[in-house]
Structure formats: structure tokens, C-alpha cells
Amino acid sequence: MTRKIKIFDTTLRDGEQSPGASMNTQEKLVVTRQLLRLGVDVIEAGFPISSPGDFKSVQQIAEVVGDKAVVCGLTRAVEKDIDVCADALKNCPRPRIHTGIGVSPEHLKYKFRGMTLDEAIERGVHAVKHARTYVEDVEFYAEDAGRAPFEDLARMIEAVIAAGATVVNIPDTTGYNMPWYFGERIKYLCDHVKGIENVTISVHCHNDLGMATALAMEGVRNGATQVECTINGLGERAGNTAMEEVVMAIAMHEAELDAHTDINSSEFLQASRLVSSITGFPVQPNKAIVGANAFAHSSGIHQDGVIKERSTYEIIDPSSVGAAGSSIVLTARSGHAALRMRLEQLGYQIEDGEEFEKVHKAFLELADRKKEVMDEDLHSLMGERAREESALYTLKSTQISCGQPLTPTATVTLVDPFGNERTACDYGTGPVDALCKAIDKVVQADCDLTEFSVQSVTRGIDALGEVTIRITAADGQVYSGRGSECDITVSSAKAYLNALNRMLQKQV
């Protein structure tokens, strides 16, 4: 039997830290259920002290997970953080507190204003001991371990193991390392740290040089038995190690690495679509494992090879990552049972009764406009419903006049948080500009629209057009919004309003 590599998912914590990727509690629970279907070993549910919303999410995620995985909460090496985290996890059957402090010269000098290494070690040791008063399972992260001198890092790790850490996380926080150098770092710890053989070594790598997966693999090759990762590689700045990449790489090289994971890889495509739809972060078509082109062959030579034998140009069987497609075709004639089954397979649980009827009605409206409703359409439809449910302002109607040589003019009617209908009109450089200006007149929020993109959800002229918008608030925070409709001007209005709603909800 090869070594088991535990998969620690941090989509809901580090992933959610990507500017504009914030998720509300309901969205996090949908992602949690998908993580359970994947069979991850640990779910990092959030940073409980950071906000009451995060605290509540961690509690509810722990409830949904039960004993199916370890649920972990992040803290700084600060007693109050640890107390709040322990409180959020108090009913969790398998709780873990993740605490830590910086170790690199850069972090000690600037972030901790000249703290010495000894002082940082003392803070780390104290935090681990404090966390151990609440839970048995304590993970310690030595932040920016990737830029710390090997001996400094070894001293800190040895001290926290002696204090009771059960998992030691060696993050390349800034994605600075070359893979072989990161591997040497892990090997050095294995060879020099007393007690390291009794704990789990975890790696947490960022993608600033596009090497997060390679770094994690070198970590595994040199002794790590836990990898921290996210769906689609979401995460701070350039992101984290992508779970789908690291799991498939381990599966492909199991013998050479003496390693395996227990992940159900056939759920990857589903997980990727779900997270993309919820966060509003599109997946690039050439993304490894889950991109739309990951198993598409376009040149004649390649097509000829694949037709003769798939393995000529494919190292992964598409069905092993869930890319085989669904056998159920959903149309306007599909009944409740087929819709419910497909939605459940996609990760959505909807109570019978009024709630399900509303979804079914929205599905029929869409099916009337499209011949076939694909999985991507269902993700969009469910995303649209979730956005509407939590909205402060909702879109009632839009009317646009545009065309050469007219001045684009838009009229919108919104329903405000008190249930009143409010109408405004304005003109702009194009129909979307006019719509956004008319919405601004009603909402009166202080922000700039900084990004706009439109993508067709599926192929064909009848496809839904999904618009993603990012806005920057006056305090510099970025919020993203999504909207999907067959008419892309309506998608645009919905996406803009969704971003404004997210901003207003964070500000109240």
C-alpha cells in the first residue's frame, strides 16, 4: 500500500480570500456538500474571528460535515482568535484549530515590526498550547516558510511539535520557491526536526510563479502527507495549488511517489463548475483537468490519433474526472423527478414544496427558450436564484433603445429593500453603460465598474449569456457580480445589481 496523502481543502478560506470571490453562508454550504462528495479529508471552513458572518459559516459548515471530514478554522497566534475559533467549532465532531505566525525575515521585520525569531517561536508555542486546551488536533502554519532560512524554520517547527502541534504546515505563502528548492526544504525538516516523524507534514503553496502544483508535488516527494489546495486553484493573488491537478498528478504517478489520495476524482468537473458559478471566477478553457478544452482535440493529426487510440493524445480518461457528460437530456418535457435528480447530482438540495416549484417554473421558462437545458444552464439558473434570494435590490424590468445613430438610453425598474418599485432612466456610451447609470440613480452607491466580461454558458445562438462584473468600492474592496439571461443586456443589469448588493450587504 502506498502512503495516503490527505487532501485539505481551503476553497472556503484561502479561496474565498480572492478579491471578489466572497461567498455567503448558503453558497458555502453548497460547496461543502460538493467537497464531501469529493471525499476530502479536511475542510478549512473559514477564519471565525474575521467577521460574524464567517463565524456563522464555520458553525453551519461543521454541522453539515458532521463526522465525514475534519473541519478546521484559521486563527492568528492570538488567544482571542483561538477562543473564538474553538467556540465556532464547539459542536464539531472532528475539530481542528489552525494557528500560526510568520517565520521569514520579511515577515518578522515588517509585518511584526522587528519581532525576533525567538519571540515568534514563543508566540507560536503559546498559541499551540492554548489551542490544545480546546482540541486534540492542532495544525501550526509557519507563514512565509518558503522564504525562511532552513535552520530558523526547523527551530520553529521543532518547538511547536514539542508544544503539541499534530500537523505542521509549511506554506510557500508567496509562491517564491523553485520546486526542487521547496523539496529540499521539506527534506531538511524531515532530517533535522525532532519529533517530525510523529506529526503530519502539510504543504500549502501559492501560484505566483505558476508552480503551485509542482511545489506541492515536490513536497509530497520529500515527505509531506497532506496537501492544502482549492478547487480551480482559487486563492490569494495568483491562487493556490489546484486540487484537481495535484490529485490527478498523484494518481498518475502513484508508484513513483509511493502515494495515493482517497479523492473521488469523477466529481472534479462538477466541483469546478459549481465553484466557478458561485464565485463568478470563470475557468480558462485550457485549464488542466477541468477546462472546456482539456479533452478537446482540434488539429487533424491529433484527431486522427485519438480516433485510432485515445491514449495517443490523452493521458487521462475524461470520465475519471467527470467529463463524460450526462446521459439525461433535460427539456421542457422533463418532469420534476428528472430535474430534481440532476440538480442533486450537481450538488443542489431543494426542499419539496413551494421552493422546488419556483425552481421548476424557472427551469420551464428556460427550457421553453432553449431546446436542451445543459448542466451549465442549471448552474446558472441556481446561481441566479441564490443571488435573487439574498438581494437587497432586485430587477423588475429593463427597457433599452439603442442602435446607430441613436444615443443609447435605458429605463430600469428596481424593487428596493422596502418592497417599493423605483424607476430611473439615463443614457450612456452603450446600452450597458446606460443601464448601469440608470441603476446608479436608484441605488446611489459609491463605486467604480472595473471589469466586464460576457461568456456564453453553452454553445448555440439560444445560449444563456453570462455576464461577470467587478466593481471597486470607495474603500478599495472588490466585489463581483454575475447575471445570466438569454438577453445579455438583462444579464448585465443583473450582474451589476448583484455586485452592488454584495457591496451593500458587506457594508451594513
Where along the sequence are the contacts to ligand KIV (CB under 6 A)?
14, 74, 141, 143, 169, 171, 173, 204, 206
CB of 228 to ligand KIV, least distance (A): 7
Question: 501: number of CA atoms within 13 Å, CB side?
Answer: 25
CB of 212 to Zn ion, least distance (A): 10
Binder of residue 41, out of Zn ion, ligand KIV, none (CB less than 5 to 8 A by kind) = none
As given in the structure block, the three cell numbers for residue 135 are: 482540541
Sheet of strand 409-415: strand arrangement: 394-401, 409-415, 421-427
Q: Which is nearer to ligand KIV, 14 or 54 (CB)?
A: 14
From the number of C-beta atoms within 10 Å of its C-beta (0-12, 13-18, 19+), residue 459 rates as exposed
Binder of residue 426, out of Zn ion, ligand KIV, none (CB less than 5 to 8 A by kind) = none
CB of 143 to Zn ion, least distance (A): 9
Binder of residue 280, out of Zn ion, ligand KIV, none (CB less than 5 to 8 A by kind) = none
Q: Which is nearer to ligand KIV, 74 or 434 (CB)?
A: 74
Angstrom distance (rounded) from CA 233 to CA 276: 11
The answer to whether 265 touches 40, Cβ cutoff 8 Å, is: no
Binder of residue 215, out of ligand KIV, Zn ion, none (CB less than 5 to 8 A by kind) = none
Q: Which is nearer to ligand KIV, 141 or 363 (CB)?
A: 141
- Between the CA of residue 227 and those of 8, 118, 204, 246, 328, what are the distances in Å? 6, 28, 6, 8, 35
CB of 74 to ligand KIV, least distance (A): 6
As given in the structure block, the three cell numbers for residue 495 are: 450582474
State the DSSP H helix or E strand holding residue 333, giving kind and residue range, or none if neither: none
Q: Which is nearer to ligand KIV, 228 or 245 (CB)?
A: 228
CB of 29 to ligand KIV, least distance (A): 22
**Relative orientation angle of helices 268-279 and 243-252, to the nearest 10 degrees:** 170
Binder of residue 218, out of ligand KIV, Zn ion, none (CB less than 5 to 8 A by kind) = none
For 156-314, strand residue ranges (E) read: 167-172, 200-205, 226-229, 259-260
Other CB atoms within 10 A of residue 389 CB:
12
Binder of residue 143, out of ligand KIV, Zn ion, none (CB less than 5 to 8 A by kind) = ligand KIV
Q: Which is nearer to Zn ion, 238 or 445 (CB)?
A: 238
Taken in order 501, 503, 506, 508, is the CA torsion positive or negative? negative
Q: Which is nearer to ligand KIV, 46 or 171 (CB)?
A: 171
Helix, coil or strand: residue 501: helix
Q: Which is nearer to ligand KIV, 140 or 295 (CB)?
A: 140
Phi, psi at residue 182, to the nearest 5°?
Answer: -65, -40
Binder of residue 128, out of Zn ion, ligand KIV, none (CB less than 5 to 8 A by kind) = none
Other CB atoms within 10 A of residue 4 CB:
13
CB of 14 to Zn ion, least distance (A): 4
- Between the CA of residue 417 and those of 209, 393, 479, what are the distances in Å? 44, 6, 20
412: left (phi over 0), alpha (psi -120 to 50) or beta: beta
CB of 141 to Zn ion, least distance (A): 8
CB of 110 to ligand KIV, least distance (A): 15
Q: Which is nearer to Zn ion, 127 or 434 (CB)?
A: 127
Angstrom distance (rounded) from CA 268 to CA 290: 7
The residue of the chain with the least Cβ separation from Zn ion equals 14
CB of 47 to Zn ion, least distance (A): 11
Binder of residue 155, out of ligand KIV, Zn ion, none (CB less than 5 to 8 A by kind) = none
- Between the CA of residue 317 and those of 19, 159, 294, what are the distances in Å? 34, 45, 11
Q: Which is nearer to ligand KIV, 154 or 442 (CB)?
A: 154
Binder of residue 141, out of Zn ion, ligand KIV, none (CB less than 5 to 8 A by kind) = ligand KIV
Q: Which is nearer to ligand KIV, 185 or 206 (CB)?
A: 206
Q: Which is nearer to ligand KIV, 171 or 481 (CB)?
A: 171
Binder of residue 468, out of Zn ion, ligand KIV, none (CB less than 5 to 8 A by kind) = none
Binder of residue 398, out of ligand KIV, Zn ion, none (CB less than 5 to 8 A by kind) = none
CB of 100 to ligand KIV, least distance (A): 6
Q: Closest Cα to residue 202, out of 136, 137, 107?
A: 137
The answer to whether 95 touches 89, Cβ cutoff 8 Å, is: yes
Q: Under the rule (CB under 5 A), what is the footprint of Zn ion?
A: 14
CB of 13 to ligand KIV, least distance (A): 8
